[in-house]
Structure 1
Amino acid sequence: MSETAVVWFRDDLRVHDNETLVEAVRAADEVVPLYVFDEREHAGAGMFDRPKKGARWGRFRREAVLDLRESLRDLGGELLVRHGDPRAVVPAVAETLDADTVHLQTKPATEELADEHAVKSLLAERDVGVERHWTHTLYHVDDLPTPYTDIQDTFTPWRKEVEREAAVRDSLPAPETVPTPDLGEAGDAAVPTLADLGHDPDEATADDRGVLAFEGGETAALERLEDYVWTGDHLRNYKETRNGLLGADYSSKFSAWLAHGCLSPRYVHAEVDRYEDERVSNEDTYWLVFELLWRDFFQFQFLKHGADFFAPNGIRDVRKEWRRDEEAREAFERWAAGETGVPFVDANMRELNATGYMSNRGRQNVASFLADAMGVDWRLGAAYFESRLVDYDVASNWGNWAYQAGVGNDSRDNYFDVLGQAERYDPGAEYVTHWLPELAGLPAEYAHRPWRLSEAEQAEYGVDLGRDYPAPLFDVEARYRNL
C-alpha cells in the first residue's frame, strides 16, 4: 500500500537543508507540499492592536512562496497553496488527500506551538500521523549539551558550553525528486496577491534609499550569500564593518532570508567553514557564526520561557515602572514616526518605515531610547517592529527587545547613549542626513544635536527647528546625564 505525506511548510521556505521535506520524501511514496497564507498574520492584529505583519514582510513572504513553488517544480513536485487559518486548512487538506502523515517544522514561539498542537489534535481524530522537525537553528535542539529546560539564561556561558560540547549537523542536500501526485485544478491555485492578503501594495514598494532590495525566496538568498561571501569577499572583514549604517555590504544582511527560512543557518555555517579553508580564517569570519549563535540562543530561550517573554517585566520579573499613559502614547507615536527630534533615532526609524529594515546598531539604539530614555513600555516598540520588519522573527525580535529593556537575558541593564553612539558610528552625519535631508546643510555636530543651533545659526543654515525639523521631546543631553 502506498503512503501519502503532506509537507506543511511554515518558516522553512527552501528545498536545501530542509529535513521536513527530505524525511517526507524518504518515507512516503507520494508527497504533497503545502503552504498556507495565514490570514491572521497578514490581516490580523497583534499586541496593542498593532498589525501583526507589514506589507513588506507580506511581499517578501509571497515572493518566497512563489520561488519555493518553482524550486519544487524543478524537482518534479508541486506546491499546494491555500489562504486561511492553517488550523483548519491543514487537517482539511490531509483529509481530502487521504494522507497518512503530515510532516511539519516545529518552532518555539507560543502562537506557532499552539497552532501546531491544534493541527495535531485534529489530525489525530482523522488517524493521520504527525512528524515534527526542528529546522530553524544552527544547532539542533536534541544536540544541546544541557536540555533547553535547564540551559543558562546568560548568553556567554551557554555559547561556550555549546561550542565546546556540541557539533553542528551536516547541511542536507535537496531531494533529487519530489514525487507529488497529480493535484488537478487544486495544484494550479494562484498565489494570493498582496491585496488578497490584506496589504496595501503601495506600502510594499522598494525605496531606492534602502541598503538592499530584499527579494524573497531561496534563489535570492543563495545569490546574496554567494555575492557577500565569495564574489564580494566581505566575510574577511565582517566584524570590522558590521556596525555600518549605509550600503549593502557592511554586514551580511542574511536576516530576512533566515527569518523566513529561505536560507539555512547550517548551510551558512558550512559556507563559512569552506571560506575559512579556502581563503582566510580570522576573528571576522568567526563573528558571523557568533551572530548565528545569538540567534540560536533566543530560539532556545523562547522554548524554555515561552509567553514570559511578552510580560512587561520579562523572564526575570524585573520590577520597572513603564509609562503607559496618554502622554507616553503620544511620545511613542513620535518615536514610531521618526519625529522625536533626536536625529540618530529619527533616521533609523524613518529607514525602518521606508524599507522594513534597520541595522543592528540602529535597533539597539532606538530600543534603548524608547525604553531607557523615554521610559515607555518596551513592548510597544517590539510590537511596532513586528508590524514593520521584513526580517521579523519572533524570538529574535522579542528576545532582543527584552534584553535591551533590562528585563530579558542580560542582568546588567545597560543603556545606549544615542548621542555618543551617533557621533561614534556616524561621525560625518552621512547616515543621518541620508534619511533626514532637511538637516543636510548642517555641520555634523549640529546634524546630531540640532537643538544647539542658535536662532542666528538656524537662519544661516536654513533650518527652522520646530518647523523644518521637530524640537526634541525633552532635554536629551540632561536626560543622559541623569540616567
Structure 2
Amino acid sequence: MQVVWFKRDLRVEDHRPLCLAAEQGAVLPLYVVEDALWQEQDMSARQWRFVSECLASLRSALAQLGQPLVVRRGDVVEVLAGLKRDGLLSVLWSHEETGSGWTFERDKRVAAWCRTHGVPWNELQNHGVVRGLASRDGWATRWEKHMSLPQSKPPALMPLSLETGHIPDGNDLRLAPDHCPLAQRGGRRVGLGTLHSFLQSRGETYRRAMSSPVNGAFACSRLSPYLAWGALSVREVHQANCARRASVAHTDRQWRESLKSFNGRLHWHCHFIQKLEDAPGIEFQNMHHAYDGVRRSEPDVALLKAWSNGETGLPFVDACMRSLRATGWLNFRMRAMVMATASYHLWLDWRSPGLQLARYFTDYEPGIHWSQVQMQSGTTGINTARIYNPVKQGKDQDPTGAFVRRWVPELREIDVRWIQEPWFADNADAVLDKVYPMPVVDHMQAAREARQKIWAVRRGEAFKTEAKEIQSRLGSRKRRRPRRTKSRNDAQLKLPFGDI
C-alpha cells in the first residue's frame, strides 16, 4: 500500500508523489489533522477554515479519481504506526515541506520512524526550493528548469474499503475565536477562478496598482493562499502566466509589463522560502547576530496590543491592521510598512509582531514570512533598513483618504487634508483621546532614534564579515541597482517582490 501524505500540497493536479505512487500500486491518500500544530502560536482559525475548505475540495477531486481523501487526527507518527499495523502502509510518499520549526521537527521524527520500521519515505521537490543546496550559484537556472517541466496528470486510483474520516472545524480543534468576515474561500475551484480572473482582467494594472492598499486588493493576483496551502502549484501558475504573456507579447504593453512583474514575484516566492530551507533558525534568531540584544525580547504589551488592534493613533497603520484582521490579506508594501512600524517606531522585537501577523495572514507561508519579517526589522545585516514614514505612506498610497475612512470610521469628522495626521486638524480635540487615540509615539522622533540604533550596529569589520557570510549563503545572485524614494525619511531599497 502506497500512502501519499498531503501537507501543504492540497491538490491532485501537478502532484508528482501521487502520480508515482499510483504507478506502484494501490494508493491511500492521507491528511493528518495535527492538533499540536494548530495550537502553535503562528496558527489561527482563519487559516484552518481555508485549509478545511481545501481539504473538502481535495477529497472530492480524489473521489473522482477513485479513492477519496482519508483524514485522520492525531500525531503523524502514531497515525502511520497504526496504518502499518493494519497492513495499510508499505511506502510513504510526500512533497518536501519547508515549514515552521514545529513541522521541521515533526518531519525529522517521521524520518526516524520510517528508518526504524523499514518504511521507505519518498520526498519529492514541491516547487522551486531545493533541499540540501550547497550554493545559491545557479539557483535561478534550476528554478526555471523545474518550472518548465510538464505538469503531472491526476492518476486513476483503486477504491479502498476504508473509513474516510471527519474534517473538523475550528471549534473541534479548540482554536481561538477569529472573526475574519472578508476572508478568501479555500479550494481549488476558487483558486482556479482567481487565477483566471487575474490573467484575463484584474492583472492588467498589477504593476502600478500593487502598492496601493485600495487598488491592490483588486489588481494583485490574490493567489497567495492557494499557493501557500498548495491548492495550486507554483509551476501551473508560472506556466499559465507564461502562456498569457505570449498571447499579449506584441499587442498590449501594460499587460506585458504587469505579467513580467508577476513572473518576478513567483521567482521571489521560492527565493525567500529557500532562505528558511537553508537556515531554519531565522524563524527564531536574528539573521545577523550583531542585533542580538538590541531590542528587548519581551515586548511592550501595551504597544503590541495597540499595533495588533489598529489603535496606534497613526491612521494609515491602523487602517492597514484593521483591514488585515477583517480580510486575512494585505498587499506587500503595506505588510512591509506595518512590520517596520512595529520594529522601528514602536521598537518591538520582531518575533512577537511577526507571530501576530502570521496568525492574521490566511496565506501564511513560513519561509516568506520570517525572511520578510527580519528584512523589515533590519536584522538581516544584508538589506537596507527600510524605515517607512507611516504618514507619508498614507498620503502617497491613500491620497483621497478613502482607505482610512473605510477602516477608521472614528475619523469621519476629520477633513481629508488631515486624515493621515488628524492631530493637525482644527477639530482634533473633539476626536483624539475621545473616539480615537492620540499617537502612541512621535513617529518622526521614533524613526530618528531607531535609525541611529540600527545603523550603529553596522560599524566595524566583525559586522561586515558576518554580513558577507549571510550574503553568500542566503542572498540573491542577481545584481540590481537600488532605487530610492524621494523622501529621506522613507528611504528604502525597492526589491522586485510584491504580494502575489
Instruction: Kindly state the Cα deviation for residue 158 of structure 1 after the two structures are TM-superposed.
Output: 6.4
Tell me what 2:53 maps to. 63
Distance 1:95 1:197, change over 3 A: same
Distance 1:317 1:73, change over 3 A: farther
Distance 1:383 1:307, change over 3 A: same
Instruction: Kindly state the Cα deviation for residue 274 of structure 1 after the two structures are TM-superposed.
Output: 0.6
In the TM superposition, structure 1's runs of 4+ consecutive aligned residues that sit over 4 Å from their partners are none
Q: Say whether residues 1:413 and 2:398 are aligned partners.
A: no
Q: Say whether residues 1:288 and 2:262 are aligned partners.
A: yes
Structure 1: which 5+ residue stretches go unaligned? 47-51, 208-212
Contact 1:369 1:418 in 2 (8 A): yes
Tell me what 1:121 maps to. 112
Tell me what 1:199 maps to. 175
SS in structure 2 opposite 1:448? coil
Distance 1:419 1:458, change over 3 A: closer
After superposition, what is the alpha-carbon deviation per residue over 1:303-358, rounded to whole angstroms, capped at 9, x for unaligned?
111113421x22554345113467x2221111111111001111111122222222
Distance 1:125 1:167, change over 3 A: closer
Q: Distance in 1 between matches of 2:129 and 2:368?
A: 17
Q: Say whether residues 1:245 and 2:234 are aligned partners.
A: no
Q: Distance in 1 between matches of 2:111 and 2:443?
A: 52
TM (normalized to structure 2)?
0.83
After superposition, what is the alpha-carbon deviation per residue over 1:140-198, rounded to whole angstroms, capped at 9, x for unaligned?
527xxxx733227xxxx965x667x8552324243241224221xx22x2211221122
TM (normalized to structure 1)?
0.86
After superposition, what is the alpha-carbon deviation per residue over 1:217-260, rounded to whole angstroms, capped at 9, x for unaligned?
11211111112212x2x333321111121264220011111111
SS in structure 2 opposite 1:8? strand
SS in structure 1 opposite 2:261? helix
Tell me what 1:77 maps to. 67
Q: Distance in 2 between matches of 1:412 and 1:443?
A: 35
Q: Say whether residues 1:323 and 2:292 are aligned partners.
A: no
Name the aligned partner's letter for residue 206 of structure 2: Y
* Matching of residues 371-450 of structure 1 within 5 Å: 371-408=343-380, 410-450=382-422
Q: Distance in 1 between matches of 2:448 and 2:107?
A: 49
* Matching of residues 88-107 of structure 1 within 5 Å: 88-107=78-97
Structure 2: which 5+ residue stretches go unaligned? 250-254, 452-500
Distance 1:375 1:394, change over 3 A: same
SS in structure 2 opposite 1:141? coil
Distance 1:106 1:354, change over 3 A: same
Match of 1:467 among 409, 430, 434: 434
After superposition, what is the alpha-carbon deviation per residue over 1:73-123, rounded to whole angstroms, capped at 9, x for unaligned?
111121110121223223322432432101012123333232122112222
Q: Say whether residues 1:228 and 2:198 are aligned partners.
A: yes
Q: Say whether residues 1:16 and 2:22 are aligned partners.
A: no
Name the aligned partner's letter for residue 288 of structure 1: F
Tell me what 2:239 maps to. 270
Name the aligned partner's letter for residue 22 of structure 2: V
Q: Distance in 2 between matches of 1:34 and 1:275?
A: 35
After superposition, what is the alpha-carbon deviation per residue over 1:451-480, rounded to whole angstroms, capped at 9, x for unaligned?
2234xx236xxx420111001112223333
The sequence identity of aligned pairs, in percent, is 25
Q: Distance in 2 between matches of 1:243 and 1:86?
A: 41
Tell me what 2:466 maps to. none
Count of residues in correspondence between the two structures: 443
Name the aligned partner's letter for residue 14 of structure 2: D
Tell me what 1:49 maps to. none
Higher mean Cα deviation, 396-405 or 118-127? 118-127
